[in-house]
Amino acid sequence: MNVKNEGYIKDQDVSTIQLVLNVDPETQTLEHLAFLLIISAFIGLLLSLVAGLFLANRALVPIQKSWNKQVEFIADASHELRTPLSVMQTHLELLFRRPNHTIEQESENIYQSLNEVKRMTKLVGNLLTLARSDSSAQLLNKTVFNMGELVDKVANQFEPIFELKELHFTREIESLMCGGDQERLHQLCMILLDNAFKYTPSGESIHISLKKYHHSMTLIVRDTGVGIEAKDLRYVFDRFYRSDKSRARAEGGSGLGLAIAKWIVQAHDGEIKVFSQKNVGTEFHVKIPL
Ligand code: ADP
């Protein structure tokens, strides 16, 4: 230590103090700390990786679901299109086998082929409707019109074919002004009455009603037909779902009608419900705000 004293330093005043301090524990603590920091950084990285993966997977679930649905839809659509095509091919090949036959002699094959063409035209139309509804490109053309008159018109169209099948048909239709897409609501009535017709055996009855209920209209189509099993009820609005595939195909159904009906109702901010009991009958309730 240097001590300044009146401008000069006295040598005998200078002394050295040596301090010996043991810093081993601090060094050790610092080493531990560094080790702990590395380990916790590593664990943090690992945890954030796992959490990231978990969250990404969770976020991907709806995308994965809609992708699977899309793939399923395309597979079902291709299958549905392939069936009429192969039936048509078989009937047309049969025509070639007997080139000398007249049209009259081959009328059965021609009739069957035409039937398949009709089925395919309907199917492609339905597929287009659903594809447009998915892409939100299908805008509704809403106008104000009398829903009672529309339901009456559709009921009149069905009356002769109900009579032919000896179905007892009744209606209770109120005159109701509503704002909606006339063409789509016409399609909705057609789908519900067509199903009632397809799945109700001769001698049974079908009833349609349209009533005002608070600020909504309720459309009910009821039949005493084959009914739907309880296990199938929750799927009937799914695309391509048919509770009895062979019967539905024999009736010309492809399982898209109710999916379209549901879309039409939802596009009008309404709801559609089904109540059914096997071998007793089925009831469709549609409620749309006026
Ligand atoms: P489809 O073109 O096959 O009739 P839908 O989507 O209209 O297709 O109906 C789906 C399925 O719901 C039908 O295959 C049928 O099994 C059942 N279903 C619909 N309406 C009725 C009904 N009124 N009575 C009994 N079953 C019905």
pLDDT at 252: 67
Supply the pTM of this predicted model: 0.74
pLDDT at 277: 93
pLDDT at 161: 93
Two structure tokens written together for 31: 């080493």
Sign of the C-alpha dihedral computed for residues 121, 151, 181 and 270 taken in this order: negative
CATH 3.30.565.10 positions along the chain are 142-289
Percent of the chain whose predicted confidence (pLDDT) is above 70: 91
pLDDT at 137: 59
pLDDT at 247: 61
pLDDT band with cut points at 50, 70 and 90 for residue 272: very high
Reply yes or no on whether the pLDDT at 7 is more than 90. no
pLDDT band with cut points at 50, 70 and 90 for residue 200: very high
Q: Ligand 1 site: residues with CB under 6 angstroms?
A: 195-196, 198-199, 223, 225-228, 236, 241-244, 248, 253-259, 282
Burial label for 228, CB within 10 Å (0-12, 13-18, 19+), is buried
Most ligand 1 atoms within 8 A of CB, residue of 258, 272, 273 to mutate: 258
Greater pLDDT, 19 or 253? 19
pLDDT band with cut points at 50, 70 and 90 for residue 243: confident
236, 222 contact by CB (below 8 A):
no
Q: What is the mean pLDDT of residues 264-286?
A: 94
pLDDT at 250: 66
Residue identifier of the C-alpha nearest atom 16 of ligand 1: 243
pLDDT at 148: 94
> Half-sphere exposure (CA, 13 Å, Cβ side) for 74?
5
* Candidate from 13-17, 82-86, 284-288 with smallest mean pLDDT: 13-17
Q: What is the mean pLDDT of residues 189-213?
A: 94
Reply yes or no on whether the pLDDT at 171 is more than 90. yes
pLDDT at 84: 86
Q: What is the mean pLDDT of residues 167-172?
A: 95
Q: What is the mean pLDDT of the chain?
A: 88
260 CA: nearest ligand 1 atom: 6
Q: Whole-angstrom Cα distance, residue 73 to residue 67? A: 10
Q: What is the mean pLDDT of residues 96-107?
A: 89
* Candidate from 94-108, 170-184, 239-253 with smallest mean pLDDT: 239-253
CA of 241 to the centre of ligand 1 (A): 8
Q: Which CATH number fits domain 58-134: 1.10.287.130, 3.40.50.150, 3.40.50.720, 1.20.1050.10?
A: 1.10.287.130
236, 253 contact by CB (below 8 A):
no
Q: What is the mean pLDDT of residues 124-134?
A: 85
CATH 1.10.287.130 positions along the chain are 58-134
Which superfamily does CATH assign the domain made up of 142-289 to? Answer: Histidine kinase-like ATPase, C-terminal domain (3.30.565.10)
Reply yes or no on whether the pLDDT at 138 is more than 80. no
pLDDT band with cut points at 50, 70 and 90 for residue 245: low
Q: What is the pLDDT of residues 174-191, one digit of tens each?
A: 999 998 999 999 999 999
pLDDT band with cut points at 50, 70 and 90 for residue 1: very low
Q: Coil, helix or strand for 154?
A: helix
